[in-house]
């Protein structure tokens, strides 16, 4: 990525469109800064590939470009505009067209697409294996073969891997779709090139309007508008200093506050009333289980399983996992009443993968309904997420008045996560200026075994963070 601390420039013999994309990526990485670069997920996953993306040797997948844009917006506390994302996609598309408009690319793309199909199928099989492990653990705890403490530890491990596998599947499916698009375009370009080569004057033998770059000169032109410079053979003679060359798009952002709801209604949409403001007793489990929508879904799940269609039943549960937070107490109560504890566990695992603000709302509604065991289990699963997500969840809970639930989350993290993750969480809480939560995290660290305390203290010291609750200011 760097030579003597300086990013390597793209090679001079690369197509202009590829160099434009590489320069754009380099600009983004420079703007992110060294620490943010290290935290960029795809950088950590494949730093060698990133180096080639930045010097133009390899063409990055489209999701890498968009991921960098979002990382930069997050670092600035802002939100991307659709215009900025569209500009980045257009820049990437121009580079893709140049790279794929070469002899032999159709065969290469077919091979890449076949390999990605294989990867998606392999990931799907692993996902099914993990779901089988989920059901096996549930059966073991119900049969008394496994204690509840061991059960929770196993669930946290399985949940973490299941979430990683689903992220891999989502990424693989995205890239498979992109490869399919590129293959279709490459086949069209290959066909156009073949017709052009077969024509004696270099024009498209089938279309008399065809130009040597395979484009109709009227494509994309609207009356009264200048189509502007286009990629193609004419660009090859331009230099980087030519003012007519394609410009790297600038990052435009919208303040996140403008995209959020405001006022009391928006706040209630995220969380129910704080514990001290609740007026009246919580409904019983039996009353919750009578909710018509929840009963209908549970009946459908049982009916599908009885008909020998377990995969469709599982899909129905996944769909239900996207319900609004306030509906989950009734759903979980109905599943428990029907003896479907395993399905309730699956729903909780799915919930823990939602956005931190949504997980916080789900926890709050469960606590409000006195489904404390389900709330704790959801927090157990959520503690296996990245330290940034855990911090966002803890801050969200505490900000809405659910301090006990926030502390459960911090205790789980202190007890079960690697020392580096605990230190990362502490850093996130310090950055959020949440002294109370940071003190609670360090108080939880003080309760873990001595050997683990020393490991966490070393990680905190390396990161320049306070090591005891008494060291926290503010």
Reference 386, options 347, 346, 350, 427; nearest CA is: 427
Per DSSP bridges, beta strands 253-255 and 6-7 are unpaired
Q: What is the DSSP letter of 325?
A: G
Query: DSSP letter string over 214-269?
Result: S--TTTT--TT------SSGGGGG--TT-TTSPPPPPP-EEEHHHHS--HHHHHHH
* pLDDT tens digit at each of 474 positions of the chain: 454 445 667 777 889 999 999 999 888 888 877 655 555 545 545 666 778 888 888 888 888 888 888 888 877 777 778 888 889 999 999 999 999 998 899 999 999 999 888 888 898 888 888 888 888 887 787 777 777 667 767 777 887 788 788 778 778 888 888 899 999 999 998 888 888 877 665 554 444 334 444 433 233 323 333 333 333 333 333 333 332 232 222 233 322 222 333 333 333 334 555 444 444 566 788 899 899 999 999 999 999 888 988 778 877 888 888 889 999 999 999 999 998 888 888 888 888 888 899 999 999 999 989 999 999 989 988 888 889 999 999 999 998 889 999 999 999 899 888 888 999 999 999 988 888 999 999 999 998 888 788 889 999 998 889 888 888 876
| 111-124 pLDDT, tens digit each | 999 988 888 889 88
Instruction: Specify whether the CB–CB gap between 162 and 135 falls below 8 A.
Output: no
| 132-186 pLDDT, tens digit each | 888 888 778 777 777 766 776 777 788 778 878 877 877 888 888 889 999 999 9
- Cα separation, 334 vs 344, in Å, equals 9
Instruction: Specify whether the CB–CB gap between 21 and 92 falls below 8 A.
Output: yes
Helix, strand, coil: what percent of the chain each, to 5? Answer: 70, 0, 30
CB atoms within 10 A of CB 312: 14
């Amino acid at each position: 990525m760097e030579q003597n601390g300086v990013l390597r420039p793209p090679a001079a013999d690369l197509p202009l469109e590829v160099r434009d994309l590489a320069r754009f990526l380099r600009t983004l990485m420079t703007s992110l800064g060294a620490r943010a670069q290290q935290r960029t997920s795809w950088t950590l996953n494949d730093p060698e590939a990133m180096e080639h993306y930045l010097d133009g040797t390899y063409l990055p997948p489209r999701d890498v470009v968009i991921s960098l844009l979002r990382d930069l917006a997050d670092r600035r506390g802002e939100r991307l505009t659709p215009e900025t994302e569209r500009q980045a996609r257009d820049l990437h598309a121009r580079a893709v067209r140049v790279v794929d408009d070469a002899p032999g690319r159709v065969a290469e793309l077919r091979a890449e697409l076949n390999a990605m199909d294989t990867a998606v199928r392999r990931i799907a099989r692993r996902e099914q294996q993990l779901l089988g492990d989920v059901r096996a653990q549930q059966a073991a705890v119900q049969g008394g073969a496994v204690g509840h403490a061991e059960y929770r530890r196993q669930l946290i491990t399985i949940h973490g891997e299941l979430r990683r596998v689903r992220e891999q599947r989502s990424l693989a499916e995205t890239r498979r779709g992109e490869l399919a698009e590129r293959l279709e375009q490459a086949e069209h370009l290959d066909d156009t090139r073949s017709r052009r080569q077969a024509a004696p004057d270099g024009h498209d033998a089938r279309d008399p309007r065809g130009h040597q770059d395979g484009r109709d000169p009227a494509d994309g032109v609207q009356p009264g508008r200048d189509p502007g410079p286009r990629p193609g053979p004419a660009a090859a003679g331009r230099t980087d200093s030519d003012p007519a060359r394609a410009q790297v798009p600038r990052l435009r952002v919208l303040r996140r506050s403008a995209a959020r709801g405001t006022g009391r209604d928006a706040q209630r949409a995220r969380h129910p009333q704080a514990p001290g403001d609740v007026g009246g007793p919580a409904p019983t489990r039996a009353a919750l289980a009578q909710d018509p929508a929840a009963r209908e879904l549970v009946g459908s799940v049982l009916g599908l399983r009885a008909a020998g269609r377990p995969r469709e039943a599982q899909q129905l549960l996944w769909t239900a996992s996207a319900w609004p937070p306030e509906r989950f107490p009734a759903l979980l109560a109905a599943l428990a009443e029907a003896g479907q504890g395993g399905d309730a566990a699956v729903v909780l695992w799915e919930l823990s993968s939602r956005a931190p603000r949504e997980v916080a709302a789900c926890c709050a509604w469960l606590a409000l309904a006195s489904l404390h065991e389900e709330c704790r289990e959801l927090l157990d699963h959520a503690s296996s997420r990245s330290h940034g997500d855990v911090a966002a969840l803890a801050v969200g809970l505490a900000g809405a008045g659910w301090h006990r639930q926030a502390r459960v989350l911090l205790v789980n993290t202190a007890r079960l996560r690697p020392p580096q993750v605990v230190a990362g969480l502490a850093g996130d809480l310090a950055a959020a200026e949440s002294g109370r939560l940071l003190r609670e995290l360090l108080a939880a660290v003080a309760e873990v075994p001595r050997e683990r305390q020393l490991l966490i203290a070393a990680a905190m010291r390396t990161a320049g963070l306070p090591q005891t609750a008494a060291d926290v200011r503010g």
